[in-house]
Amino acid sequence: MEDKLSFEYAPAPESRAVVSIKPKYGHFIGGKFVAGTKHFPTINPATEETLSAIALGSKSDVDAAVKSARKAYVTTWSKMSGKERGKYLFRIARIMQERAREFAVLETLDNGKPIRESRDVDVPLAAAHFFYHAGWADKLEFAGLGTSTKPHGVAGQIIPWNFPLLMLAWKVAPALAAGNTVVLKPAETTSLTALLFAEVCQQAELPAGVVNIVTGDGSTGALIVNHPGIDKIAFTGSTEVGKIIARAVAPTKKSITLELGGKAANIVFEDAAIDEAVEEIVNGIFFNQGHVCCAGSRLLLQENVAEEVLSKLKTRMAKIRVGDPMDKNTDLGAINSHEQLLKIRELSAAGDLEGAERWSAPCELPGKGFWFAPTIFTGVTQSHRIAREEIFGPVLSVLTFRTPQEGIDKANNTPFGLSAGIWSEKGSKVLWASQQLRAGVIWANTFNKFDPTSPFGGYKESGWGREGGRHGLSAYLKGVSHE
Ligand code: NDP
């Protein structure tokens, strides 16, 4: 039956007046903003408007940041009681909540993600990470990790562009709670919320040098990774760069955690609640434009429900609102960069070439900026590039299976192992499937749910170590007992 119930949304734009963006930024070192030498532009990917000029961190900037982090570690932070450290983390969390609207607007302008997501997901979760780890700061000996744990010292942290503030929180909060000081590099295209966070550190009167932020590109990241004054490296990004970092760190005494790519299977068994599954298939792949390492990018449908799921999925996808990220009704925003858009286009073209069938939701894409319509490919086989490689965009590859075991085998047929989803009304089947799936995070009858108490991380080429929960905390401590 044709869907006659349709209505137009009135525009609901969020105001950008709440943020003030400086024309040029430096680095945050030793509690102060210091001028950079070279700069590069950061743009709004939805409009291609230049927002500001960001400093390109050089060797001397990284040296200064590491020196400042070491000094703060030796003279202040490592001497402070956990209770006092916790107070600073609580203070940071509360200020982030107070300035939540500012953070959300800035994130949306710089990243292209819908304001609804930065406001309701990124910023609240980032504050929650600080609250959660503030609670651990004075209870480390009760975390079940041993009673003689110690911080590593100075942590070098490199983060990607898909969840700029949230990834900062995942890295900085546990590091500080455990007693480390940090040198953090945000991604080249999304530095603005990290620089606003630096202001929060000043406002919270965090001792100078505990948090240092050096902006820049991959070359700045490499300077941090290879710096002899760093004790621990924490990286989130592509598997390709993760391998370069692993090789660089291997001959050193540095401790390392890597959160890398994924190609998650979202498996729908014949007894699933189809309408609920369709809703979360959409959330699983189109949340944050599909720029999510744990995105449910491979949909595995049991053959006898495939037709019904696909028909309902297309109806639902046609209702996704694509466009201005600052509009509170927008579901799918801009692709973060021209480079990423080219990568999505290239892999989608490979899908066409290898014989899969493309269907894109009918929608009007804005003339300026970087956009890609929500898309699915059916008739995908396991050898297709779009079934094996991370597209990191709003593109879903659909495969089918006959028996539950075939579904599991196909799900595990990937070099990655970050996350997976299971859809079934039978608890026993959910438990059976989750025990066989090689993935660090498994959602049952839901998808993309995050919480600071819950460890997150992968197997195989998806990385080493966990972030969040006690497991994530342990990565920032040495002498951890694993009994
Ligand atoms: P990268 O791995 O290239 O970048 C991640 C971070 O590492 C950025 O801050 C980057 O700097 C920095 N970096 C780049 N090269 C080096 C290096 N040699 N040594 C140290 N640091 C370095 O990911 P991108 O952001 O470019 O995204 C590319 C692909 O990575 C995506 O298409 C996606 O597949 C995957 N990805 C996975 C994520 C995940 O959460 N698992 C998150 C983001 C991306 P800069 O960006 O400033 O150049």
Q: What percent of the chain has pLDDT over 90?
A: 96
Q: Provide the Cα torsion 160, 165, 166, 167; round to 10°.
A: 30
pLDDT digit string (tens) for 369-418?
Answer: 999 999 999 999 999 999 999 999 999 999 999 999 999 999 999 999 99
Q: Above 90 in pLDDT, residue 480?
A: no
- Rounded Cα distance between 431 and 397, Å, is 25
Mean pLDDT of the chain: 96
**What's the CA-to-centroid distance between 237 and ligand 1, angstroms?**
4
Of 177, 187, 209, nearest in space to 66 by CA? 209
Q: Quick one: tokens of 327?
A: 């509009």
Residue owning the nearest CA to atom 43 of ligand 1? 237
Q: Quick one: tokens of 420?
A: 């997976």
Q: Above 70 in pLDDT, residue 285?
A: yes
- 259 catalytic, yes or no? yes
What mean pLDDT do residues 139-165 have?
95
Q: Quick one: tokens of 203?
A: 């406002």
**What's the CA-to-centroid distance between 222 and ligand 1, angstroms?**
11
* 400, amino acid identity: T
Q: Above 90 in pLDDT, residue 115?
A: yes
Of 396, 287, 267, nearest in space to 332 by CA? 287
Q: Above 90 in pLDDT, residue 445?
A: yes
* 127, amino acid identity: A
Closest-lying ligand 1 atom to the alpha carbon of residue 167: 40
E strands in 75-178: 150-151, 154-158
pLDDT confidence of 483, banded at 50, 70, 90?
Answer: very low
474 CB contacts (<8 Å, ≥6 apart)?
Answer: 143, 145, 480
Closest-lying ligand 1 atom to the alpha carbon of residue 186: 9
Q: What integer pLDDT is reported at residue 9 of this predicted model?
A: 86
Q: Above 60 in pLDDT, residue 354?
A: yes
Contact criterion met (CB below 8 Å) for 152 and 177: no
Pocket of ligand 1 (CB under 6 A): 158-162, 185, 187-188, 217-218, 221-222, 225, 236-238, 241, 244-245, 259-261, 293, 343, 390, 392
Residue 370's φ and ψ, nearest 5 degrees, are -115, 120
pLDDT digit string (tens) for 10-23?
Answer: 999 999 999 999 99
Does the pTM surpass 0.85? The reply is yes
Q: What integer pLDDT is reported at residue 1 of this predicted model?
A: 47
Contact criterion met (CB below 8 Å) for 162 and 122: no
Residue 120's φ and ψ, nearest 5 degrees, are -100, -15
